């Protein structure tokens, strides 16, 4: 009996909260712009309460951003739809608030122009990165930008809506000064966080030659077996065989540890087909305990899901051997092991297990650090043991790239 296609579950509690946030944005706009106090003559303080009610609605909607993220992670229901709709909801809320303040004459339009332009540019960069299998993690600047924007918008909502032009009037209205100080800080962090994205994506955008070298290295890791689904059937070349000799792997592991010490970073692993070989190779080097935080052997899908936090939908729709799973495994290892750089591997070592489009020797290697989460696909030749050892080498090289780049 043929099993039908598995579809991603859309109506998770987290996604429902996100959609409710979007649906309630018009309520906030009505509360701040419309002359609704005129419709309540029996409420003498309605006009004075208008700004506070609008601010309360805005704070409530902003706070749900953390709620839907918590629900998605705690329930293991991180979906592609959620990844798309959650940042969109934030942008809709902030854009609505900025435009409402401009409509009220409280905020000049250049502030909204700077903030919204940044959002479009960053969204474009992340889209380009995602097309290449790279996830650019939010930095401290981005998080600080979000917080200061929310604080500044709230202050602008509750302060006097009349723009003060008299210097003496400004001095007698400290809330006006605090509001503008918060907004200027938010604008500064908006620009800084945008530049931070450019720095993180410099290789992807072609600003440095190292991006070309990384792409060429990834292509070299996919030998001529790419045209022939019998990747695991080709015998290893002399160079490939020498590269997975014990002394060669020990030397490479030593380079990873030295680079980690120089960068002041710790490393961790999440392994499927290698069953702990990467962590074992690292810890074979004396003195590795100051750098290696540990490793998680996630051979089964249950462990990938329950320990590393790989989503059920990711495993069902993309499969255990996929870019999405490798990235989620690396992020889960970095989170569970509290390490700075984590590498993950998931693949088909053989002799069986090949799938359509995923021959024996197909391996996805993921990596996560504070700046990026990305994955690389490799097609290794040789026997089961040789595929596993080639995976160990490629994973160590992938980790070394990140450590040396930092």
**What pLDDT digit, counting tens, does each position of 19-29 carry?**
999 999 999 99
Residue 38: give its domain's CATH number. Answer: 1.20.120.1760
**Alpha-carbon gap, residue 406 to 213, rounded angstroms:** 17
Provide the pLDDT for residue 6: 44
pLDDT band at 131 (very low <50, low <70, confident <90, very high): low
* % of the chain beyond a pLDDT of 90: 48
* Phi-psi map region of 359: left, alpha, beta (phi>0 left; psi -120 to 50 alpha): beta
Whether residues 64 and 184 fall in one domain: yes
* Span 380-391, average pLDDT: 93
> pLDDT tens-digit profile of 309-332?
988 878 887 889 998 899 999 999
**Alpha-carbon gap, residue 374 to 356, rounded angstroms:** 23
Q: How many domains does the chain have?
A: 2
Q: Report whether pLDDT(130) > 80.
A: no
* Phi-psi map region of 294: left, alpha, beta (phi>0 left; psi -120 to 50 alpha): left
Residue 366: give its domain's CATH number. Answer: 3.90.950.20
Provide the pLDDT for residue 379: 92
115 belongs to a structural domain: yes
> In which order are the strands placed within the sheet that holds 292-297?
134-136, 372-379, 362-368, 341-347, 267-271, 292-297
Whether residues 253 and 183 fall in one domain: no
Given 201, 222, 238, the domain boundary residue is 201
Greater confidence, 37 or 9? 37
* % of the chain beyond a pLDDT of 70: 83
Q: Report whether pLDDT(212) > 50.
A: no
Provide the pLDDT for residue 292: 96
94 belongs to a structural domain: yes
* Span 203-208, average pLDDT: 68
Cβ-Cβ contacts under 8 Å for 15 (sequence gap 6 or more): 68, 72, 79, 81, 82, 85
Q: Report whether pLDDT(246) > 80.
A: yes
Instruction: Please give the residue range of the domain that contains residue 156.
Output: 13-201
212 belongs to a structural domain: no
Question: Across the chain, which distance is largest between two alpha carbons, in Å?
Answer: 89
> How many other C-beta atoms lie within 10 A of the C-beta of residue 35?
8
Whether residues 190 and 296 fall in one domain: no
Whether residues 194 and 252 fall in one domain: no
| Structural contact between residues 12 and 312, judged by C-beta atoms closer than 8 angstroms | no
Given 201, 233, 266, the domain boundary residue is 201
* Span 354-380, average pLDDT: 89
> How many other C-beta atoms lie within 10 A of the C-beta of residue 157?
28
HSE-up (13 A, CA, CB side) for residue 314: 26
Average pLDDT, the chain: 83
241 belongs to a structural domain: no
DSSP secondary-structure letter at 355?
A: B
pLDDT band at 8 (very low <50, low <70, confident <90, very high): low
Q: Report whether pLDDT(268) > 80.
A: yes
Provide the pLDDT for residue 211: 42
242 belongs to a structural domain: no
87 belongs to a structural domain: yes
pLDDT band at 69 (very low <50, low <70, confident <90, very high): confident
User: Among 107-121, 242-256, 257-271, 351-365, which stretch is predicted with the lowest mean pLDDT?
Assistant: 351-365
């Amino acid at each position: 009996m043929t099993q039908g296609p598995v579809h991603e579950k859309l109506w998770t509690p987290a996604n429902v909260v996100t959609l409710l946030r979007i649906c309630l944005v018009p309520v906030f706009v009505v509360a701040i712009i419309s002359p609704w106090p005129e419709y309540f003559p029996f409420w003498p303080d309605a006009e004075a309460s208008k700004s506070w009610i609008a601010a309360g609605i805005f704070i409530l909607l902003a706070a749900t951003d953390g709620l839907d993220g918590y629900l998605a992670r705690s329930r293991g229901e991180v979906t592609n739809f959620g990844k798309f709709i959650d940042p969109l909801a934030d942008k809709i809320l902030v854009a609505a608030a900025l435009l409402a303040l401009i409509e009220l004459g409280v905020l000049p339009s250049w502030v909204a122009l700077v903030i919204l332009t940044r959002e479009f540019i960053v969204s474009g960069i992340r889209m380009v990165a995602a097309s290449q299998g790279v996830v650019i993690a939010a930095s401290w600047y981005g998080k600080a930008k979000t917080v200061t924007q929310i604080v500044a918008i709230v202050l602008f909502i509750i302060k006097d809506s009349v723009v003060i032009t008299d210097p003496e009037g400004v001095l007698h209205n400290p809330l006006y000064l605090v509001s503008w100080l918060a907004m200027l800080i938010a604008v500064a962090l908006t620009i800084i966080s945008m530049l931070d994205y450019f720095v993180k994506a410099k290789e992807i955008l072609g600003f440095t030659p190292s991006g070309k070298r990384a792409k060429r290295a990834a292509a070299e890791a996919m030998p001529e077996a790419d045209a022939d689904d019998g990747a695991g059937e080709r015998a290893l070349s002399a160079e490939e065989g020498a590269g997975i000799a014990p002394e060669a792997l020990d030397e490479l592991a030593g380079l990873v540890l030295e680079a980690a010490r120089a960068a002041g970073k710790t490393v961790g692993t999440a392994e499927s087909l290698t069953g702990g070989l990467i962590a074992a190779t690292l810890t074979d080097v004396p003195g590795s305990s100051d750098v290696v935080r540990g490793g998680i052997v996630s051979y089964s899908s249950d462990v990938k899901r329950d320990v590393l936090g790989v989503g059920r939908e990711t495993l069902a729709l993309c499969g255990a051997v996929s870019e999405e799973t490798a990235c989620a495994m690396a992020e889960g290892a970095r989170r569970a092991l509290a390490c700075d750089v984590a590498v993950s591997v998931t693949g088909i070592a053989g002799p069986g297990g090949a799938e359509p489009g995923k021959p024996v020797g197909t391996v996805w290697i993921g990596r996560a650090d504070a700046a990026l989460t990305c994955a690389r696909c490799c097609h290794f030749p040789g026997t089961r043991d040789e595929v596993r050892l080639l995976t160990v080498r490629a994973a160590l090289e992938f980790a070394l790239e990140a450590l040396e780049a930092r």
